[in-house]
Amino acid sequence: MQAIEKFAPGVILHGGDYNPDQWLDRPDILHEDIRFMKEAHINEATLGVFAWSMEEPEEGRYDLDWLEEVVNRLYEHGIRTILATPTGAMPHWLTEKYPEVLKVDEHGTRRMHGQRHNFCPTSPVLRKKMQGINEALSERLGKHPGVIAWHLSNEYGGDADAETFIGCHCPACEDAFRTFLKDRYGTLEDLNRAWWTGFWSNRFTSWDQIHCPGAGSEHTMHGIKLDYRRFVSAQMLDFAKAERDAVRRYSDRPVCTNMMGTFDPLDYFKWARELDFVSVDCYPMWHSQEDDTGIAQGASLYYALTRSLKRMPFLLMESVVSSVNWTPINIIKRPGMHMLSSMQAVASGADSVQYFQFRASRGSSEKFHGAVIGHLNGNDTRVFREVKALGERLEKLSGLVLGTVNRPQAAILYDWENIWAVNDAQALVMPFDFNRRFLDYYGALWDRGIDTDLIDMDSDLAPYRLVLAPFNYMYRKGWTEKVRRFVERGGVFVTTCWSGIVDDSDLCFEKEHPLQDLLGIRPEEVDVSPGYMENTISWGEDSFPVRDLCGVIHTVGADVLAVYGKNYYKGMPALTVHAYGRGKALYAAAEGKQDFVGRLVDEALCEAGLRCPIEVELVHGVTVSCREGDGRRLFFVQNFNNRPTEVVFRKPCRNAESGEKVEGPVLLDPYECRILEERMA
Ligand code: GAL
C-alpha cells in the first residue's frame, strides 16, 4: 500500500496489538514474545493502544524509555511498529483532576471514571493533555526506523454504554453543536424551516434553546437528530484531526485509525479524507450459524467498504485468531477458518492481517479473548500453528499481492446520512434495519463473484458500469444530477421503493419523484406485506415471495418486467426498466427476498455487461475476488463451506502459488482459498 510502502517495503504485514506494557516486570515473557513472533512470521506489532498511564504516569511526566526499548528490540528482530496514541483509555490522574474530560450521557449525567472510549471530544483540557502525550511520542519515536505508521486512539466512538447517540452532552459540546448549526444554516429562520419546527410547537427563537437530542430530551424531531448525528461524527473527527496534527508535529509517518466497518455513528467516508490510509477491525461471528455464507458476505462487506473509502488497499488492523469473549456464545474458529478468513481480507484489498491480540493478558476483562499466545502451552497450540502457517503463506505472497488492487466496476450505495435518515423514519417497518436489507443486495453480488465498491453520494460514479442504490430514501444535493449523468453515459442504475423520499434536511419531496424522468415511474404508496398476507412477484414463469415492502407505482415510460401476484394492486408493476440516454434504470417497487434480489442482480449485471472476472461456475458458499496490477490478475477463490466443494473452471488458469494448471472440475477443500493467476495482455 502506497502510504506505508515507503516505511515497510515489500511485506504484507502480519502482527497486531501487543501489550508489553502489561509485562514490564517479566523480561522472560518479553524475550519469549520475540522468539514466538519470529517463529510465527509476525513482522509487525501495534504498540501503546491503551498505554497512557504507563507513558505518562503523572501529569506532564512522560516515561517513554520502556517503549523505546521495546521498539528497538522489535526492530532489531525485523519487526516493525505501528504506534498508537493512547487516548482510547484515560489515566486516573486525568479524570481525577479534570472531571470535565469525562463525557456526559443523554440524561445529563457525567460519567465516572472507568472503561474506555468515554471522553468528551470537545473538552479543551483533554485536547491539551492529548497534545502533550502525542507530541512527546512523536518527538521521541516519530522518526524511529522501526516505526512505520500512526494508529490514532482506538475505535473512536466505541462507547459500549451509549444509549442512542455516542455524542457527549456537556455544555461545551452543546455550544459546539450550536456553532456547527450556525455554520450550516446561518440563520435561525433557515434552521426552523429545515427542521419543520412548526410541528409540535418547536419553533426556536434563540440558539440557546437548542440542546443535544437524546433519550432524556428531544428524540422525535428528525431534523435535529440528523444534524446531531452529523455533528457527532464531525466533532469526533475534529478530535481525531487534532490527534493527527499532534503526531505529525515531529513525524512524517502515515496516519490511520482503526475503523469499525459499518459502525453507525461515524461517517467514515468523511473520516477517510483526513487520514493517510484506512484500516479496519473485523470480528465476524464464524460458525454462529450452520452455514457460514451469510457471515462471509457480512465480513466481505466490511472489507469492501473499507477499501472503497479511499479506493485503495487497507490494513486489517484487528481480527481474532480463535474466539472473541464479548458475544453470548463465543465459538472458536474451526481448523482452517483462520487461514480462509484472513485470506478473505487480503482478497478484498487488505495488505495486512493483524490481530487483537498477540499475548493474552492474565487479568481483567479480555483475559479470555483469543490471542496468538494464550495462558498455557506457549507455542505448542493449534492456534499458534495456524497463525504460523498463515504467516508463512503471507510472506510468500507478498511479492505477488503487494501493488495489486481490486478494481470493481459495480458499486452499491452505502451513504451514512441516508442510513441515519431511513432508519429514523417513522413509517412502514420499524426498526427499518437498513443493513440487513442491504446485505441481501451485497450478498447477491458476492454469490456471483462480483467485487463491488461501496460508495456514498459524494463518490465519483465514473469508474462503474453498474450502480445499485437500494432504499435510497434521502437524495442529497447533487445526487440526482450525478445519477442522470451516469445513466446518460451508458451506466445501469438500480433502485428500489422507499427511495427519493426526502432531501438532505429530511424534508419530503413534493409533487413528483425527483428521478421520475429517469426511472419512468410514478410511485403512489408503499404497502407492508406481513407473513399472513404475503404478496408475490410474478416475473415471467417465476413467482417470488415479497419480504416486507410493496411499492404501488404507475409507469410513465418504463417497461414492466414483473408484476404483483396478489392484493388490490395485483397485476401492477413490481419491477420496471427504463431506457435513459445510453443506459438503463431499473426500479424494484417490490422488496423481494434473496432469490428475487439474486434474479434482479443477474438482470442488472446482464444489462451492464458485467460478470465474474474468471470463467467459473460458482456454487453456494464459494466466491471469487480479484486483485490486479503489475501485469497480472489474481483470483482468490474462497470456499466457505465446511465440506469439499466442487467448482468448474471453464478456462484454463494457473495456480499462482504452485504453478499448477487448473481447469475443469476442481474439488476445493473445506475452507480452502485457492489463488489463481492470469497474465494480462
Ligand atoms: C476491539 C478493540 C480491542 C479489543 C477487541 C476485542 O473492538 O479495539 O481493543 O477490545 O475489540 O475483540
CB 577 within 8 Å of CB 586: yes
Q: Considering only CA atoms, which residue is closest to atom 4 of ligand 1?
A: 356
Contacts of 153 (CB under 8 A, 6+ apart): 84, 85, 86, 87, 88, 240, 243, 257
The enclosing H or E element of 4 equals helix 2-5
Which atom of ligand 1 has the smallest separation from the CA of 258?
8
Per-residue pLDDT tens for 360-385? 999 999 999 999 999 999 999 999 99
Per-residue pLDDT tens for 255-274? 999 999 999 999 999 999 99
Q: Identify the active-site residue in 56, 106, 318, 672.
A: 318
Contacts of 481 (CB under 8 A, 6+ apart): none
Q: Average pLDDT of 454-471?
A: 98
Three-state secondary structure call for residue 460: coil
Q: Average pLDDT of 489-516?
A: 97
The pLDDT of residue 2 is 67
Contacts of 640 (CB under 8 A, 6+ apart): 292, 293, 295, 296, 340, 621, 622, 623, 671
Q: Please give the backbone phi and psi of residue 19, each rounded to the nearest 5 degrees, phi first.
A: -120, 65
The pLDDT of residue 560 is 98
Q: How close is the Cα of 283 to the center of ligand 1, in Å?
A: 9
Q: What is the DSSP letter of 69?
A: H
Q: What is the pTM of this model?
A: 0.97
CB 71 within 8 Å of CB 143: no
Per-residue pLDDT tens for 535-559? 999 999 999 999 999 999 999 999 9
Show the ligand 1 pocket: residues with CB < 6 angstroms.
Answer: 154-155, 281, 283, 318, 324, 356, 366, 369
Q: Average pLDDT of 467-496?
A: 98
- The answer to whether 155 is a known catalytic residue is yes
Task: Output the average pLDDT for the chain.
Answer: 96
Q: Average pLDDT of 350-367?
A: 97
The pLDDT of residue 508 is 98
Reported residue count of the chain is: 681
The pLDDT of residue 574 is 98
The enclosing H or E element of 338 equals helix 337-347
Over 90: is that where the pLDDT of 357 sits? yes
Cα→Cα distances 216→203, 225, 383, Å: 20, 13, 46
Give the CA angle between residues 109, 114, 119 to the nearest 5°: 60
The pLDDT of residue 6 is 81
CA distance 438 to 280: 20
Over 90: is that where the pLDDT of 530 sits? no
Q: What is the DSSP letter of 337?
A: H
**Side-by-side strand order, sheet with 279-281:** 258-259, 279-281, 315-318
Q: Please give the backbone phi and psi of residue 636, each rounded to the nearest 5 degrees, phi first.
A: -100, 105
- The answer to whether 617 is a known catalytic residue is no
CA distance 419 to 433: 9
